[in-house]
Amino acid sequence: MHDHAHTKDIFYGRRLRGSAALRGMVRETRLSKDTLIYPVFVQSGENIKDEIATMPGQYRYSPDRLPEFFEEALAAGVDKVIFFGLPAAKDEVGSGAWADDGIVQQAVRIAAERYPEVLRVTDVCLCEYTSHGHCGVLEGGCVHNEKTLPLLAQTAVSQARAGAQLIAPSDMMDGRVAAIRRALDKEGFSGTPVMAYSAKYSSAFYGPFREAADSAPAFGDRKTYQMDWHNAREAVRESLADLSEGADIVMVKPALAYLDVIRRVREQVDAPLCAYAVSGEYAMIKAAAQAGMMDEEALVAETTTAIFRAGADMLITYHAPLAARLITEGRIG
């Protein structure tokens, strides 16, 4: 086999790579299907399952077609879902976000009734519901922090009432976790945990999502509320702040270009840590695969493992069913 030099000076790294069994034994990173969360886009209407142009293989479902999504997830062994909504109508303040019969509220009720074994996570943000596409209420062309907080809290409560089991604010307003925590407690949902998008960067990798959710800002960008990607220490401050406000889980988003941030937060923050492999990460892999440039399964295996190796405890990913299958087949983890 190997003709290694018999010298003590050499590190024989290859000895433990000689077979799949050996490699499997010395793996430092273990993956589990339990830690995967699959996003779904729910659209107001009937009999809709439209493929999203910027995210091949991902669809917008009307509530009546949702079972197809759940069957796909469950068949792969994924039992955690995060909901995003496309409402029938938008307005200045995003009132569709907290409507009792809002699109996410409807979807969550269906899921609770038909797929009770699936964990229901809801994204709290106004950008999909505002006519201007920003994540909060505008005043003088700027997103007003304090005026936005009660609307986010109201949205979280209405989602919890519909049956959401984990509330995930993604808006990046200051103080939103405290506002949401207070409102949930007051309305009888003190047992419902909050997963804060704590270190959410102002990222070009959200491009495909904004097409999918019709949530691109009509003017300007999100740099006055989402984080500047030059900063990593700030992610720790944001995470600790969210924990002090009552967050149960913190998040770093996006994932692949922020592995250093995931590692840093893992080392400095003692709370469960979620990472979000966002739409642009999915789209890059899909595009490369469709162009015949790289292999989708191999890329998903490697990138998913990298995110967990960096220190994530759980992962939101559009590739959740594929990642789960790779785990089942023993190709990763």
Does position 238 interact with ligand PBG (CB under 6 A)? The reply is no
Q: Which of 170, 239, 304, 317 binds ligand PBG (CB under 6 A)?
A: 170
Q: In terms of CB distance, is 158 or 333 closer to ligand PBG?
A: 158
b/e for 38-74, b at 16 or more Cβ within 10 A?
Answer: bbbbbbbbeebeeebebbeebbbbbbebbeebbeebe
Residue (of 308, 324, 277) closest to 76 by Cα position: 324
- Reading the block at residue 69, the tokens are 């999504």
Question: Which position's Cβ is nearest ligand PBG?
Answer: 209
Query: What x/- string results for residues 266 through 285 when contact with ligand PBG is judged by CB under 6 A?
Result: ------------xx------
Write the CB contacts of 258 (distance below 8 Å, at least 6 apart in sequence).
199, 201, 229, 252, 275
CB of residue 182 to ligand PBG, shortest distance in Å? 22
Please name which of 72, 19, 139 lies closest in space to residue 321, comparing C-alpha atoms.
Answer: 72
Compute the distance between CA of residue 330 and CA of residue 324 in angstroms, rounded to an integer.
10
Q: How many residues bind ligand PBG (CB under 6 A)?
A: 11
Closer Cβ to ligand PBG, 36 or 333, answer by number: 36
**C-beta closer to ligand PBG: residue 159 or 333:** 159
Q: How many CB atoms lie within 10 A of CB 257?
A: 15
Q: Which of 33, 80, 90, 253 is catalytic?
A: 253
CA distance 300 to 319: 7
Q: Find the binding residues for ligand PBG in span 212-231 (CB under 6 A).
A: 215
CB closer to ligand PBG out of 79 and 281: 281
Q: Nearer to ligand PBG by C-beta: 63 or 280?
A: 280
Contact status: 210 vs ligand PBG (CB under 6 A) = yes
186 an active-site residue?
no
User: Smaller CB distance to ligand PBG: residue 229 or 331?
Assistant: 229
The answer to whether 253 is a known catalytic residue is yes
Of 33, 80, 200, 286, which is the active-site residue? 200
The span of 66-74, 112-120, 208-216, 233-241 binding ligand PBG (CB under 6 A) equals 208-216
- Interaction of residue 135 with ligand PBG, rule CB under 6 A: yes
Q: What are phi and psi of 139, to 5 degrees?
A: -145, 120
CB of 133 to ligand PBG, least distance (A): 9
* Token pair recorded at residue 3: 């003709």
| Bridging pattern class, strands 80-86 and 36-43 | parallel
Q: Which stretch binds ligand PBG (CB under 6 A): 101-109, 112-120, 204-212, 231-239?
A: 204-212
Give the end-to-end CA distance of the chain in Å, rounded to a whole number.
Answer: 27
Q: How far apart are CA 99 and CA 158, in angstroms?
A: 7
* One of 61, 70, 115, 209 touching ligand PBG (CB under 6 A): 209
The size of the chain, in residues, is: 333
Distance CA 92, CA 80 (A): 32
- Residues 113-132 within binding reach of ligand PBG (CB under 6 A): 123, 125, 127
Nearer to ligand PBG, 39 or 63 (CB): 39
Nearest distance from C-beta of residue 121 to ligand PBG, angstroms: 12
Q: How far is CA 30 from CA 34, 37, 77, 244, 326, in A?
A: 12, 17, 16, 30, 12
Is 195 near ligand PBG (CB under 6 A)? no
Supply the residues annotated as catalytic: 200, 253
Q: Would you tell me which residues interact with ligand PBG (CB under 6 A)?
A: 123, 125, 127, 135, 170, 206, 209-210, 215, 278-279
